[in-house]
Structure 1
Amino acid sequence: MTIRAVRVTRFGGPETLEVTELDAPAAGDGRLVVDVTAAGVNFADLSRIAGRYSSAVLLPFVPGSEVVGRIGGRRVVGLSFDGGGFAEKAVLDADAVVDVPDGVTDEQALALLVQGLTAWHLLRGSARLVPGESVVVNAAAGGVGSLAIQLAREFGAGRVIAAASTSEKRRLARELGADAAVDSEPAGYAERVRQANGGHGADVVLDANGGAAVSAGLEALAPFGRVISYGDATHEGRPPIDLGLLAERNVAVAGFWLRPALALPRGYREPLAELLELTARGRLRPITGAQYRLADATQAFSDLASRRTTGKVTLLVSGPGR
């Protein structure tokens, strides 16, 4: 049996993607075959396609780590760091598969994998948010940021402040539950945060921008506050940290990477099930975006790379009209 899949045979940009016919994968010990209905598109996939990913990727390969689909009568969602998701059938570890409750769309379920789990672990694990504390979310309109705003409220934050680069993004953040929204430009950032927080520094700053944004976040902290750096979207790199200054102000900066967090006991299935249930109950609103057919994978990645998309970008893999 053959299936349609997106394959990469040489490293490069989105133009290197090709839709082809491949042999269907087979289940193995502890592995399940999912009939994929949709797959998530991420910036990490761009790095894999370009050959710049943090771990080695061997050619040829089928990209795609986030899938939603069916196993028999079950509707499931799952994550595979081995890829293979941009295909009509994909193989996942049995313990990576979680049932999708009624009322959660394919696109919402996909948004809860990398982005949702990142937001959950940032707040629960790295920041160790205490109810009543103030949280600043940089890149507040992004996939992680938009969910972090809502989860911070759900987890008991006393005040949630969104930081974003445009008035439209700040408006969206307020709609999602932020108490205040400020410009994310590093110059004057600390003053704007304190003003939005009643004249006080922030307890937690979540940052995916890197560079000057990390330094600005540190300046905005209250005593015993912490900046959690989980990305470098500006490509400025992470700034040198003066440990003496951290000690003087009793503040901290920490880094975060999702993959090791998911390997922790109760680090994957339990938080994902919680995120799905919150979405089913209407307490969490994942921001979904453009949908592309499998045959239009090149266009999907071109739009993503050019920042022409908002919300969770998905490939519609199989089913009517796909």
Structure 2
Amino acid sequence: MKAMVVAGTASGATIQQRELGAPVRNAGQVLIGVRAASVNRADLAVRAGTHVSADATAGPTVVGLDCAGVVLDADADSGLATGDRVMTMAGGGLAEQVVVDARMPIRLPDSWSFEMGAAAVLALMTGHNALRTAGRLVPGESVLVNAARSGVGQATIRIANELGAGRVIAAVRSLRDEDFLTELGADIVVDTGSGGFAEAVLAATDGRGVDVIVDHVGGPYLADHVKAAALKGRIVGVGRLGGAEGTLDMETLAVKRLELVGVTFRTRDADEKAAIAAGVRADLIEALSEGRLDPRIDRVLPWTEVLGAQDVVASDAHLGKIVLRVSADA
């Protein structure tokens, strides 16, 4: 089978299409024929060698963290059958075929294309886990999502509404996409581009602060998040786009009885990942089937253009996901 793999060159790491042996399915796994995969910021780190997927195996590093496609083979008791259309987290998803734990795939809504599934699955799992499991969101509580225009940020806004959030605040570096974020379900959009934004968040919550903060930026926003959090608030660290280190006011942390919760898929075992997929199915299946969680796709490219697609993601020159269409003829 063909796959996109990381390759070293004199000028640095690149990605090349290579012929690899087809994956072998074992009991408890499902074999998927890949039709599309998305490009994520973590893919840039995989290419640079600073991010190793928990699903990584010996041999060439295959690019991709998710995919959507058709079930080719599965155990009879897996709940999946040949021909089922699915989306799934999958280390090495940018290949013609991939094998994953049979508990991971989520069925595609009938109205969804493979490209939509690839665009949505990782964001759905990340956002749901941040809000429901790590953030323990209770209906009526308020939510702050920073880097809200990102693919995961957009999904998190929508998921927060599906889980019954009382107020959803989107934080972005520019208000140019305010109307778009409001249409997604943000009640308030705050500008983080001019410096501290905690005061704006406090004003939007009548001084109370926010119950659950989903943080995609990291260190530079830590001080503002602590200020903006409500009593017994939960700050969930999903990403570190702005850096890993920040200033922590431990007195305020203690007085407010805040929780700082770090999350990543890299150190989760198979059971933990399967539980996240099950949570998406349990809480969001109706919203998925009714089109309330349809992902925004910026563009779809042939998978042979993976390097250019990663450059677009690196430059932040997109609104929505970049999706790569996998073709056996490419």
Q: Is TM (by shorter chain) over 0.5?
A: yes
Equivalent-residue separation in structure 2 for 1:133 and 1:262 (angstroms): 31
- Who is 2:110 aligned against? 102
Q: Distance in 2 between matches of 1:282 and 1:97?
A: 19
AA at the equivalent of 1:17: I
Partner of 2:40: 42
Query: What does residue 76 of structure 2 align with?
Result: none
Alignment pair present for 1:73 and 2:83:
yes
Superposed CA RMSD in Å reads: 2.6
Residue in structure 2 matched with residue 6 of structure 1 by the alignment: 4
SS of the equivalent of 2:131 reads helix
* Corresponding position: 1:269 with 2:267: no
Change (3 A) 1:40 1:306: same
Moved more, 216-225 or 254-263: 254-263
Q: CA deviation at 1:240?
A: 4.4
Question: Which residue number in structure 1 is paired with residue 14 of structure 2?
Answer: 16
What is the aligned partner in structure 2 of residue 161 from structure 1?
169
Structure 2, gaps ≥5 residues long = 72-81
Distance 2:217 2:9 in 1: 26
* Cα displacement string for residues 12-55 of structure 1 (whole angstroms, at most 9, x for unaligned residues): 99961112333333333333321111112212121111111156
Aligned to 1:298: 307
Partner of 1:256: 263
Q: How far is the alpha carbon of 1:93 from its aligned partner? A: 2.5
CA apart distance, 1:285? 3.0
Q: Distance in 1 between matches of 2:53 and 2:327?
A: 29
CA distance in 1, matches of 2:86, 2:163: 26
The 1:295–1:15 alpha-carbon spacing in structure 2 relative to 1, beyond 3 Å, is: farther
For the residues of structure 2 that align with 1:14 and 1:290, how far apart are their CA atoms? Answer: 27
Q: Is the 8 A contact 1:112 1:275 kept in 2?
A: no
Alignment gaps of 5+ in structure 1 = none
Q: CA deviation at 1:159?
A: 1.0
Q: Indicate if the aligned counterparts of 2:174 and 2:193 stay in contact, CA closer than 8 A.
A: no
Does residue 202 of the first structure (1) align with residue 202 of the second (2)? no
State whether residues 10 and 60 of structure 1, in contact with CA within 8 Å, keep that contact through their aligned partners in structure 2. no
Aligned pair 1:313/2:313, yes or no? no
User: Is the 2:13–2:47 Cα contact (8 Å) retained in structure 1?
Assistant: no
The 1:55/1:98 distance shift into structure 2, 3 A limit, reads: closer
CA distance in 1, matches of 2:11, 2:178: 31
3-state SS, counterpart of residue 270 of structure 1: helix
- Which deviations, in whole Å up to 9, do the C-alpha atoms of 1:155-194 show, x marking residues without a partner? 1111111111112233221110111111023734111112
Is the CA contact 2:222–2:247 (under 8 Å) kept in the aligned structure 1?
A: no
Contact 1:11 1:49 in 2 (8 A): no
Contact 1:76 1:100 in 2 (8 A): yes
TM-score by length of 1: 0.88
Structure 1 CA distance for aligned equivalents of residues 265 and 165 of structure 2:
22
SS at match of 2:95: coil
Task: Give deviations 1:167-224, integer Å, cap 9, x for gaps.
Answer: 2233221110111111023734111112222343222221111122111011112222
Could you say which residue in structure 2 is the equivalent of 1:64? 64
Q: What is the one-letter code of the residue matched to 2:86?
A: V
Tell me the residue number matched to 2:50: 52
Asked if the contact 2:226–2:249 (Cα under 8 Å) also holds between the matched residues in 1, the reply is no
User: What is residue 144 of structure 1 aligned with on the other side?
Assistant: 152
Q: In structure 1, the residue corresponding to 2:226 is in which secondary structure?
A: helix
Measure, in 1, the Cα distance between the counterparts of 2:249 and 2:198: 18
Q: Using the TM superposition, name which of 243-252 and 167-176 deviates more.
A: 243-252
1:90 and 2:88 equivalent?
Answer: no
1:223 corresponds, among 204, 222, 231, to 231
The structural deviation recorded for 1:97 is 2.5
The percent identity for this pair of structures is 35
Task: Give CA deviations for 1:114-146 in whole Å, capped at 9, x if unaligned.
Answer: 211111011111111122111111111111111
| One-letter identity of the residue aligned with 1:182 | V
Deviates more, 1:183-192 or 1:63-72: 183-192
Q: Structure 1 stretch 95-104 or stretch 148-157: which is displaced more? A: 95-104
Report the residue type matching 1:305 in the other structure: A
Bigger drift between 210-219 and 247-256 goes to 247-256
Count of aligned positions: 316
Determine the C-alpha separation between the residues in 2 that align with 1:9 and 1:275: 38
Q: Conserved in 2, the CA contact under 8 Å of 1:133 and 1:157?
A: yes
Partner of 2:289: 280
Distance 1:189 1:17 in 2: 39
What secondary structure, in the 3-state scheme, does the structure 2 residue paired with 1:283 have? coil
Taking the aligned partners of 1:148 and 1:223, their CA distance within structure 2 comes to 22
